[in-house]
Amino acid sequence: MKVLVTGAAGFIGSHVCEALLKRGDTVLGVDCINDYYDVKQKENNLLILKHENFSFSHSDICDKNAMEQCFADFAPDAVIHLAARAGVRPSLSEPELYYQVNVLGTLCLLECARTHKVMRFIFGSSSSVYGSRDGGKFSEADRVDTPISPYAATKKAGEELCHVYHQLHGMHVTCLRFFTVYGPRGRPDMAPFKFTKAILDGEPIIRYGDGSTARDYTYVGDIVQGVLASLDADLPYEILNLGNDSPVTLNTFIATIERATGKKAIINEEPMQQGDVPYTCADISKAKKLLNYAPTTGLEDGLRAFVEWYQQH
* Residues with catalytic function: 151
**268 vs 221: CA distance, rounded Å:** 31
**153 vs 145: CA distance, rounded Å:** 9
H/E element, 110: helix 105-115
What type of residue sits at position 32?
C
Q: Where do the DSSP E strands lie in the chain?
A: 2-6, 26-30, 54-57, 78-81, 120-126, 172-178, 181-182, 204-208, 214-215, 218-219, 237-242, 248-249, 266-270
Closest to 277 measured CA to CA, from 180, 133, 139, 140: 133
**312 vs 288: CA distance, rounded Å:** 34
For 98, the 3-state DSSP assignment is: helix
54-57/26-30 β-pairing = parallel
**Residues 209/271, Cβ–Cβ less than 8 Å:** yes
**299 vs 72: CA distance, rounded Å:** 42
Count the residues in the chain: 313
**85 vs 128: CA distance, rounded Å:** 13
